[in-house]
Every structure is written in structure tokens, then in C-alpha cells.
Amino acid sequence: MENTSAKLTPKANPHAISIRLGSRTYGQVTGSRNHDLRLGRIPKYVRQDQSHLNDTLIKPATAPEFRDICEERRANRQVGKARRGLRSDAAVMRDGIITFGTQAQTVFEALDRETQNKAFTAVAEAIATRLKTTLNGLVVHRDETAIHAHFDLVAVNVDGHPISQANSQSDFSRLQDLAAEIIAQFAPQIQRGHKKYDRLKAGANFSDTVHRSVKQLHEDLPQEIETRKLALAKLNKNIAATEAKLAEETEDQARLQKRLATYQDRLARQTAELDELQATQKALH
């Protein structure tokens, strides 16, 4: 596995596997479960004619089942002590998603379906083991823009402690290392993603390092593209004004040349960012 974290770049690694973990309260589990199993209302971005290609490798547990396991594990830890029930807003499930960068996706999709399922299972089980909990749901989606897998973990570990409290941010970050190590057994070309801190250090905007769902991208991209276009129009106007002043051959030639170079650099960078946003939007349709 190639270590990519030392390569300072603001961009996400297109050759990488990515793991994201969220949390679900009792009241949120059913919605997440329905999405994974394609029950109820189906989002517009789902290609329903491809849904038969999805695989339910481990049928997700229900909200009562997750709550009961959490309660049992907490009770085992609290033997001999006054027992407190779960708060209504406490997480009973940690929901995860396994995705790939654009280049890694091409590599992974070239694998046969059985190998893909084995790889997803190996990654999800390794994460559950590392967090000292159990894997109680694993579904592979092939009916959206890119192949990915949703996995569900019990939010309280086998020692009776909430996963969120038993692990540090460094522990969660190292899950990316673990995922890359496991996936390399099936596709050695797939790497670890660039670390968020390194991307920020290299000049990335914080918002660009935050993972967004497909639904969020559908909602956010049109406004972001429009904002970029307005910024480019302003830059082009500034460039034209600066070039006009240079043509007047004033005494400020050096300063104006420096300003023009700055504008042109911004124009090139923001044009590339706009192209990337538009490519992402196109891929969603």
C-alpha cells in the first residue's frame, strides 16, 4: 500500500478508498435501514432498473434490535452499579459507508461481483473488530452513480462503552489506514486517502474536505457552480481593466504586471475548480 499522506495536495486522492462513519439514534435507524434496503420512497438519483444488482450481505438489524444490544452491553458493564437507561438522543447504531475515488472506482468495478462483495465484507468486518463492536448490517449499492457499501455497527462496544467515547479522533482516522490495508488484498492499486489536515495545510478549503452525501451534492452543486461562474466573470473583468491600464504605459507597469499575474493565476485555478464541480454534477445524472 502506498503511503499518500506525505504528498501535500489540497485535492482528494482519486486512487483512494474512503470510510465515513455517522451515528443514528433509535428514531433514525429505520430511515437509514429503509434507504439501504430500498424500502419506501426511492430517491430520484437511484437507477431502479439497476437495483437488482444490489447485494444484502448482512440484513441490517432493526431499531429495537440495535437498542436491545446496546442496553445489554451497558448492563454487563454496570453490574453491581445503579443502572441508567439509554438517553433518547443516544446513538444506538454507527452507520458507515465505503466509497472510492474516481480512479479507485474504475479499478474496483473491474473486479467480479463476488470479489467486490468479499472485499466490502473484509473491510467492514475489520472496522467492526478494530472498534470492538459487531457488524449488524452490510448492503452493497450498484444502482447509483458509483458502487459503494453501507455498513451498520452497534454503537456500544462489547465492553459496554459508546464507540464515540472509547475512541479518539486519531483512532477514527486510522480506520482509513486499516481500510486501505484490507482493500489492497483485493486491489493493490487502491490507496489510502490524503489526510484532511494535510489537504488543509496544502491550501484546501475546509468545505472541500467534508464528505457530502449524494443528496447533499444534488442540492449544493448548482449554487456552488453559479457562485464560481460569478467569481470568474469578476476576475475576467479585473483582468480586462488591468490590461487596459497596462496599455496606457503608466509608471506603475511593474505593479500592474504583478496584479495581472495574480488575477490570471486565480482565473486558472478557479476555472479548474469549476470544471471539477461541473464534472461531478454531470456524473450524478
Residue 283: per-residue pLDDT: 56
**Domain 16-202 CATH class label:** alpha beta
Percentage of the residues of the chain whose pLDDT score is greater than 90? 41
Confidence (pLDDT) at 214: 56
pLDDT tens-digit series, residues 145-160: 889 999 999 999 999 9
Rg (CA), the chain: 24
When the pLDDT of each residue in the chain is averaged and rounded to a whole number, the result is 82
Per-residue confidence (pLDDT) for residue 281, from 0 to 100: 63
Q: Rounded CA gap, 265 and 277, in Å?
A: 19
Task: Please tell me which residue, 283 or 276, carries the higher pLDDT value.
Answer: 276
Q: What is the mean pLDDT of residues 273-278?
A: 70
- pLDDT tens, 202-241? 444 444 544 555 555 566 667 777 877 888 888 889 888 8
Say which amino acid occupies 94: R
Quick one: cell of 242?
488591468
Span 63-83, pLDDT tens digits: 999 999 999 999 888 665 656
Residue 242 vs residues 44, 80, 144, 257, 271: alpha-carbon distances, Å: 47, 77, 47, 8, 19
The three-state secondary structure class of 255 is: helix
- pLDDT tens digit sequence for 108-159: 999 999 999 999 999 999 999 999 999 999 999 999 888 999 999 999 999 9
Rounded Cα distance, 94 and 32, in Å = 11
Select from 186, 221, 23, 217 the least CA-distant residue to 109. 186
* Element housing 282 (H / E): helix 253-283
Instruction: Show me where the domains of the chain are located.
Output: 16-202, 214-283
Contact 138, 57 (CB under 8 A): yes
| Cβ–Cβ under 8 Å, residues 175 and 19 | yes
pLDDT for 47 beyond 60:
yes
